[in-house]
Every structure is written in C-alpha cells, then in structure tokens.
Structure 1
Amino acid sequence: MIRFTNDYSEGAHPRILEAMGAANTEGNFGYSTDPHCENARQMIRDAIGRPDSAVHFLVGGTQTNTVCICAALRPHQAVIAATTGHVCVHETGAIEASGHKCVAAPGTADGKLTPEAIRAVCTAHPDEHMVQPKLVYISNTTEVGGVYTGAELAAIRKVCDELGLLLYLDGARLGSALAAGGATLTELGALCDVFSIGGTKNGALFGEAVCIQNPAIAKDFRYIMKQRGGMLAKGWLLGIQFEQLMQDGLYVELAAHANALALRLREGIAALGYGFSCDSPSNQQFPILPDRVLAKLRGDFHWEEMGKPDADHTAIRLVTSWATRPEAVEAFLAALKKA
C-alpha cells in the first residue's frame, strides 16, 4: 500500500540516523544540557537572527503547544485560534486541560487568522466576566495547508501590539511553509514572541525546537517543561537531530522535496478535472473526488477523509514527506486516471 496519510509515516533522514548512531555510546549530560543541544541552539539562533532567543527542545507538537501556552498565560487568559487550528481540534483539549480556554475565530478558506478576526474576538471579551484573550495562536503551514507570508505575519504582529496580545506560531510544518515562500526564519525571529521549528514532520525521528524571544515567556520555562512532561532525559537525541537539520540547508531541502511532489499530485489531479477544497502550496493537498472513484483506489492507497461536500463526493487529504518517492505519486495519478 502507498500511504499519503501523513508526513511522519517514515522514520528519519539517513543523515540523522547516522549521526545518532555515531553518538550512541559517547556519553552525554541529560535533559538537553549536552554539547549537541548547545550547538544546535546556536545554529538556530544564527538562522533566525536572534542571539538572544531562548531555545528549548521537546519531543512532540502537543507538548510544545501546551508548554508554550502555559508559560505565556496567566490563569484567566485565553488563546485565540482559527476554528481549524490544531489546538482547537486535534489536541484532545490539551490547552483547556491546562486551564486555558481556546477561543475559536473564523479563519480564511486556507485556515489563516486575519487581523479583523483577532480584533473581533477581543471586542467580544470586554471585561472580567469573560476570559481575557491574550495569545494569538497561528501555525505555518495551517492545518489545511495555507501559508502565511511575511507581510501577513507582520499585519498580525501589528494588531497584537495594538491590543496587547502575544503571538505564538506553531511550526510543526514550518519546513513546508519556508519552502513554499512563507515568512522566513528571520521574520519569525523578529515578529513572534515564541515559535517552534518542527522536526517530527520534516525528517527527524522526533523533536520540536522552541524559540522564545519574549523574556517573560522564557522565565522559568524549564520548570514548566519538566512539570508538563516535556523534558526528555536523553535530550541529546534531540540536539543531534537539529544539528543535522540546520546544517547545509537540509531542513528546507527536505520540505522542498515534499512540496514539489504534493504540487505534482495537485497538477495531475486538476488535469483530470477535479477540484480542491482549498488552495494549498504546501505538502498537504485536499482534492474532492467521487466516492465511486475512491472505492477503486482504496486498498492500494491510503489517505485521510476530511468531509463530504455532497452525497457522492468526499474531500480527502493527501500528504507527501521528505521520503515520498516520485514513482508513488505517479502510481496514484495513473490509478486515479484509470479509476
């Protein structure tokens, strides 16, 4: 079976596995206090243009979002996110379980928050009888493949400054956004109070790097990491992976491969006359296909179903990764044409 289910079905890029194997028995300090993590931190600071950034490593995306939001908010404060935002729909209420409400705001067709939507949420929460919106959560790419440009990120930063809000960008699929021409690492470093660089979905075995530019969020961050189960004893395994990802442009190179194959899928599907539920330049594509056609493909290929626009069609999600082979894409397109 050929899987287009997600971008973490494979293990890790061979260069990462080789580096981890080479360091397997060298002996390291624990909890990300080792030389590999420190070197990776410096590489990330250089890449984002922020020598003052506090960089931390966590294993997964839900941990990262929960710990960052806990560090940023007081008990009465809330997160603003798009209705389709990951923290609203795919983290089993992890943010709410930590005591903070997620206020969902209507996003664009490709899942982006706008300054107007952010302003509307704050207007609707005027006093102490409601939660106080304090942190804007966005992701690049969005949950449905949208990509924030530098100009769009700057516009959100402007409204955050106007309303006294913090800005957090979830970069679980940041590689794809960078490769698609989204806001650059230096723009993220300049405009976000905190953001993450996702490794799990872009060639790492596991791991997310958190970059904190706001000292108030950085304060006691490791205490919160530990309390929330986000501190890995064998933290050097995370440092080694980010050393490799941040070297020689590997991080964006892997994402560019995934994006190119996703766009080939899009091109081939569109050539057969099918539409898409949204316009995505990323490694996630959302075609709308007839159920009778999907029935013929099921078993040889795997995807996620996103909903039914009508009784006879289903919107599906096709995701490519750093390890997707061009022949897998061509096999899907050939089978689709035949079906």
Structure 2
Amino acid sequence: MRYSFKNDYAEGAHPRILETLIQSNLIQQNGYGLDDYSESAAEIIKQKINNPNAKVFFVSGGTQANLIVISAFLRPHESVVSAATGHIFTNESGAIEATGHKVHAIESSNGKINSEDIQKILDVHQNKPHQVKQKMVYISNSTEVGTIYSKKELTDLYQFCQEKDLYLFVDGARLGHALTAETNDLTLEDFGKYTDAFYLGGTKNGALIGEAIIINNESLQEEFGFHLKQKGAMLAKGRLLGIQFQELMKDDLYFDLARHANQQAMKIKKAFQEIGCEFLCETFTNQIFPILNPDQIERLSINFDFYVWKKLSEEKSAVRLITSWATSNEMIEKFINEIKNLK
C-alpha cells in the first residue's frame, strides 16, 4: 500500500482522545452539547480567544460548519464573497447554493482576497433590489493552497467589512496549521477580535471528527442553536465532540499537532528546493505544491499517493502534498530519499 500525502485526515485520532473517550465511556452525561466536556471545551476556547461573550458550538465537519453558518447568518436575498479557490466554491457540491445563497468568486493566485477585490463585486451590485445583496466575506486560513493571512491583512479585511456592513467569517479547518506556521504573526485571540465568526478545525488536526464554531458577533448568537438542530448537526451524544476539543485545547495539544505537521511539510519542501524544484505558491503550512514533470510524478507515485493539483503545461503540473499530525520521521525520510533521486 502506498503511503498517502493526499490529506491530513487519513489517520484516526490522537491516542489521548481515544483514551479519554474510553475512560469516560460509562459516565452519564446530558445530551445535545450540554455535557460537562462540551461546556468545559467551550470555556477553554473562550479563554484562549479572550472573548468571554463568544458562543461556541460543536459540529461534525467543515462543510457542515460552512453551510450552517452561512445559511444562518444570511437572509434569503443575501450572498457571500469567496476566493475562487475557496472550499465553499469548489469542493462542497453546491452546498451553499443549495441553501439559496449565491457565492461570488474572486480569482486569486495565492488563495487570498482583499478589500479591493471585494469592492469590485460591490460596485457591480448597486441595482437594488434587483440584484442580490452581498452580506458576508468568507476566507480560509490557511487557504486551500496553503497560504496564510497576516495580521494586517486580517485586520484590514475586518475593518473593511465593518465599514461596508459585511460579516467576516473564517473557515478554520486548518487554522492550527496557519497559527503555527513559521511566518505567522496572528494569534488565536486575534480571531476572537477581528471576525464575526470562525471555526477551529479538529478533523484535519488530530480529532476523529469535529469543528468548533465560535460566534463573536453577539447579534448572531441567540438563535444559532435552532439552525444546528434544523440542519441535523446537533448530536444527541454531543459529548463525543466536546471530549475531543477538551483534550485538544486544554494544554495546547492542538497547536503541537499542527506544528508537527508543518515541520514535516517543510522538510519535504526543503528536499524539493535542493533539487531545484519550483512551487505553485510559497507556503509554510502543512500543504506544499511542488511543480513536477510527468516522469517525476510517475516515479514518486510508485510508493506514495498524492493529488495532481493543477496541470500547467504538457510538461509541468503542480502536485499537492499534505502532512498530518501523525506523519512519521520514517516516512518523511523515505520520501526525501525518493525526491533526491529525481534530480
């Protein structure tokens, strides 16, 4: 079986999570997220973002989080702005559109968007009420191509959204990887201050399943539970999610796991650099996109699995390689040895 660099959720869960699930298995708890573990996890998260007024909700996956947040926050005639590479635009099977909301896509070479990009969309939607009304900006950090937002970029976006009466929502499926990247200057507390809502992804960072939605904008909090229930996201055994986030967050295991994934990816990146390889974009998270020729791709594919991300020409394609919290040094060394043979 080929070792997979296709994603960061090929493994199950960190052993600490499994151990705690077993140890707590016969302890009776309230359902629907009212268990001790979920309440404890929510309190830890609120402390870490330094926002005691935030509300925390746990759901099972990223697409579910995106769909529920966007459909809950927007009125029927309102729309959301996203990078063209954004998960809600490319990889969610039209989930947002299925709720009746248009997604406006912005082309971006590095997966990020800025206020100038958004303003162009606002400018061509002035014929109210005949056109949909933009009400939300959706970004992901890290992005679908592994890049990250700086503090200035995030604060500029938030200020712009405040001025234009737009919500700013951050997809944090890989937020741990963004915050532990060597070039990062944002903190978790910044996301509690400069967003209306965001989520912390567990699925791609050591949990079996689960994302923690954090709503900072108090005007959007009160009836969010109704949306969770209506969309089938309110688990009777909510403890399964609460336990996982309690373990991940209580002593920063979440960030240790993300940092490990980033470090493993950077080892691979360095090996490609040493053979003169170029990259689709510059990344410092657990996703890298080296540009290879067909022969190199075929040779690496013998023992390793990964996606061919984008065909650039007949002789060049960018591949996507993702490391995880569980990627071992042994596998990294084996992969690097094969990279060296490509030269």
**TM range, normalised to the smaller chain?**
over 0.9
Are 2:191 and 1:204 equivalent residues in the alignment?
no
Contact 2:106 2:117 in 1 (8 A): yes
How far does residue 151 in structure 1 lie from its aligned partner after superposition? 1.3
Give me the whole-angstrom Cα distance separating, in 2, the residues matched to 1:267 and 1:147: 19
1:216 maps to 2:219: yes
Q: Does 1:315 align with 2:305?
A: no
- Verify the 8 A CA contact 1:65 1:170 in the aligned structure 2: yes
Figure out how many residues of one structure are paired with residues of the other and give that number.
338
Per-residue displacement from partner, 1:30-88 (whole Å, max 9, x unpaired)? Answer: 11110110000100000000000010000000110011011110000000000100100
The one-letter amino acid of 2:78's match is Q
- TM-score relative to the length of structure 1: 0.98
* Contact kept in structure 1, 2:83 and 2:111, CA below 8 Å: yes
Deviation at 1:216, TM superposition (A): 2.4
Aligned residues: CA RMSD: 0.9
Check conservation: 2:33, 2:242, Cα contact below 8 A: yes
Query: For residue 115 of structure 1, what is the aligned residue in structure 2?
Result: 115
Question: Paired residue for 1:86?
Answer: 87
Runs of 4+ aligned structure 1 residues displaced above 6 Å come to none
Counterpart of 2:52 in structure 1 is 51
Contact 1:119-1:159 at 8 Å conserved across structures: no
Name 2:124's counterpart in structure 1. Answer: 124
Separation of aligned partners in 1, 2:287 and 2:55: 31
SS in 2 for 1:246: helix
Partner of 2:305: 302
Q: Deviations over 1:222-263 (max 9, x none)?
A: 110111121111100100001011121111110000000101
Q: Would you say the 8 A contact 2:271–2:340 is kept in 1? A: no
- Given the alignment, which residue of 277, 280, 294 partners 1:277? 280
Counterpart among 241, 244, 247 of residue 241 in structure 1:
244
Please give the alpha-carbon distance, in whole angstroms, between the structure 2 residues aligned to 1:177 and 1:274.
Answer: 23
2:103 maps to what in 1? 102
Pairwise CA distance, 1:182: 4.7
SS, match of residue 310 in structure 1: coil
Q: Find the partner of 1:262 among 255, 261, 265.
A: 265
Unpaired stretches in structure 2, ≥5 consecutive residues: none
Q: Per the alignment, in what secondary structure is the counterpart of residue 5 of structure 1?
A: coil
- How far off its partner does 1:135 sit? 0.3
Query: Counterpart amino acid of 1:88?
Result: F
One-letter identity of the residue aligned with 2:167: L
- Residue 253 of structure 1 pairs with residue 256 of structure 2: yes
What do the CA deviations read for 1:183-232 (whole angstroms, capped 9, x no partner)? 21110000110000100000111100011011222121111011112111
Partner amino acid for 2:123?
Answer: T
In the other structure, the counterpart of 1:20 is 21
SS in 2 for 1:167: strand
| CA displacement 1:259-317 (0-9 Å, x = unmatched) | 00101111100110111001111100000111011112223100011121110222110
Q: Distance in 1 between matches of 2:155 and 2:113?
A: 13
